């Protein structure tokens, strides 16, 4: 049931009361003249009360009928059904009024005022039902648009996340190949074990949009071993994030991987240029990822896809923008969390 239907259903006695007063307003307005002309008559007041409560109850029944039994009916069909039921109701009302009139009590059940009141009642109930139907259709369209928007966002995010995987897989296989050549079985087994955890996280990322900061940092801890082996301990990580907030803050899955990969792509990492990647949380709840700048002698063959990818995912999933700062000595990326 739509919120409009719910509101009308909850306020049905009040809505019916207001509608009944509106419909019999001509009788209320003419009441002083009727009393002056016909005098004080108890039967007249009883008939007035009967008319009022009849319309009150009839309006309540018709509105309920339109909301529950005719949720998708078009205007003409709805009007025809209401008109048919009101003809039966009018026949019943006229019969009772005729019986009351036989006792000498004045009634106007054949007057133009009463006929116009039934027509107004038919139009009013039809209009309320039709507005409810239009509102429900609009809500359905909005829900469908929102569903399609979410599906589109998910598809775009999946496509962006999938761009990360091939590049990382290629570098990881090179690391395995290097360890095999060195014939270091213990390191090779540990490397494969940590690599399997990394691959599992990456493969499961297709089913995730946002993850907790703890999940992403745990992934980086596994990734840390792989990178330290790959660069022979010439690349280290410094992670300073309070444990208390790691489960409270979220960010897009695989946000840190492209940043760490960019460090290795754009910088020299050797015994003379040892690399430390710093990950910390600032006072604005931004995850700051920074590293010293050791530019390679020849520019790397890259078009900046990783950072653009990350910017797009933050815009889609967080509706926030990442910040990038760079000087001659340090490169920093600020990831907004929520």
User: Does the structure show a pLDDT above 60 at 46?
Assistant: yes
**Beta strands of the chain (E only): which ranges?**
210-212, 235-240, 250-252, 275-281, 286-292, 323-326, 330-336
Counting other chains too, the contacts that 33-40 makes at CB distance below 8 Å and 24 or more residues apart are 38/106
Mean pLDDT to the nearest integer, 42-68? 82
The residues with which 276 forms a beta bridge, in sequence order, are 236
Q: What is the pLDDT of residues 237-246, one digit of tens each?
A: 898 988 888 8
User: Does the structure show a pLDDT above 90 at 333?
Assistant: yes
Report the 10 Å Cβ neighbour count for 115: 13
User: Does the structure show a pLDDT above 90 at 332?
Assistant: yes
Mean pLDDT to the nearest integer, 172-185? 68
CB 147 within 8 A of CB 155: no
Neighbouring residues of 138: CB distance < 8 A, sequence distance ≥ 6: none
Domain ranges of the chain: 3-144, 184-336
Backbone angles phi, psi at 143, to 5 degrees: -65, -40
The upper half-sphere exposure of residue 234, i.e. CA atoms within 13 Å in the direction of its Cβ, equals: 14
Q: How confident is residue 302, by pLDDT bands cut at 50, 70 and 90?
A: low
Rounded to the nearest 10°, the torsion over CA 197, 248, 239, 220 is 20
Give the 3-state secondary structure of residue 210.
strand
The DSSP 8-state label assigned to residue 72 in this structure reads: S
Q: CA-to-CA distance for 48 and 21, rounded, in angstroms?
A: 12
User: Does the structure show a pLDDT above 80 at 174?
Assistant: no
| Residue 263, burial from CB neighbour count under 10 angstroms (0-12, 13-18, 19+) | buried
| The predicted structure's pLDDT at residue 323 | 92
Neighbouring residues of 268: CB distance < 8 A, sequence distance ≥ 6: 294, 295, 296, 297
Q: Which residue has the higher pLDDT, 317 or 323?
A: 323
CB 221 within 8 A of CB 228: no
Give the 3-state secondary structure of residue 212.
strand
| Residue 150, burial from CB neighbour count under 10 angstroms (0-12, 13-18, 19+) | exposed
CB 314 within 8 A of CB 324: no
| The predicted structure's pLDDT at residue 305 | 67
| Token pair belonging to 27 | 């009788």
Out of 3.30.565.10, 3.80.30.20, 3.40.190.10, 3.40.1440.10, which CATH number does the structure's domain 184-336 have?
A: 3.30.565.10
Residue 44 Cα distances to 36, 41, 97, angstroms: 12, 5, 11
| The predicted structure's pLDDT at residue 277 | 92
Question: In what side-by-side order are the strands of the sheet with 323-326?
Answer: 235-240, 275-281, 286-292, 330-336, 323-326
Residue 306 Cα distances to 68, 161, 169, angstroms: 54, 10, 14
The residues with which 275 forms a beta bridge, in sequence order, are 235
| The predicted structure's pLDDT at residue 156 | 54
Q: What is the pLDDT of residues 109-127, one digit of tens each?
A: 666 777 788 888 888 888 8
Mean pLDDT to the nearest integer, 170-180? 67
Among residues of the chain, what percentage have pLDDT more than 90? Answer: 9
Helices (H), the chain: 3-10, 12-23, 25-38, 42-68, 75-101, 112-182, 185-204, 213-230, 256-266, 305-317
Backbone angles phi, psi at 237, to 5 degrees: -115, 145
Q: How confident is residue 236, by pLDDT bands cut at 50, 70 and 90?
A: confident
Provide the mean pLDDT of the chain: 79
Q: How confident is residue 161, by pLDDT bands cut at 50, 70 and 90?
A: low
Q: How confident is residue 290, by pLDDT bands cut at 50, 70 and 90?
A: very high
């Amino acid at each position: 049931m739509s919120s409009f239907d719910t509101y009308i259903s909850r306020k049905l006695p009040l809505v019916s009361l207001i509608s009944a007063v509106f419909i019999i307003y001509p009788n209320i307005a003419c009441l002083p003249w009727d009393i002056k002309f016909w005098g004080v008559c108890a039967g007249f007041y009883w008939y007035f009360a009967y008319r009022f409560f009849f319309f009150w109850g009839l309006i309540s029944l018709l509105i309920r009928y339109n909301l529950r039994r005719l949720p998708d009916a078009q205007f003409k069909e709805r009007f025809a059904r209401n008109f048919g039921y009101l003809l039966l109701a009018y026949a019943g009302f006229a019969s009772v009024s005729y019986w009351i009139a036989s006792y000498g009590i004045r009634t106007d059940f054949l007057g133009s005022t009463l006929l116009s009141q039934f027509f107004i009642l038919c139009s009013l109930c039809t209009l309320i039902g039709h507005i409810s139907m239009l509102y429900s259709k609009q809500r359905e369209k909005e829900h469908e648009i929102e569903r399609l928007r979410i599906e589109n966002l998910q598809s775009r995010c999946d496509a962006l996340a999938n761009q990360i995987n091939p590049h990382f897989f290629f570098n990881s296989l090179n690391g395995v190949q290097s360890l095999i050549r060195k014939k270091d079985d213990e390191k090779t087994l540990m490397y494969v074990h940590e690599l399997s955890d990394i691959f599992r996280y990456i493969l499961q990322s297709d089913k995730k949009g946002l993850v907790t900061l703890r999940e992403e940092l745990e992934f980086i801890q596994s990734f840390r071993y792989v990178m330290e082996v790959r660069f022979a301990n010439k690349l280290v990580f410094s992670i300073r994030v309070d444990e208390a907030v790691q489960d409270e803050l979220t960010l897009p899955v695989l946000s840190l991987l492209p940043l760490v990969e960019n460090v290795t792509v754009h910088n020299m990492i050797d015994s003379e240029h040892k690399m430390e990647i710093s990950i910390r949380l600032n006072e604005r709840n931004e995850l700051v990822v920074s590293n010293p700048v050791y530019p390679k002698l020849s520019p790397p063959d890259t078009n900046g896809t990783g950072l653009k990818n990350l910017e797009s995912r933050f815009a889609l999933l967080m509706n926030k923008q990442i910040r990038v700062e760079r000087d001659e000595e340090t490169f920093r990326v600020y990831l907004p969390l929520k």
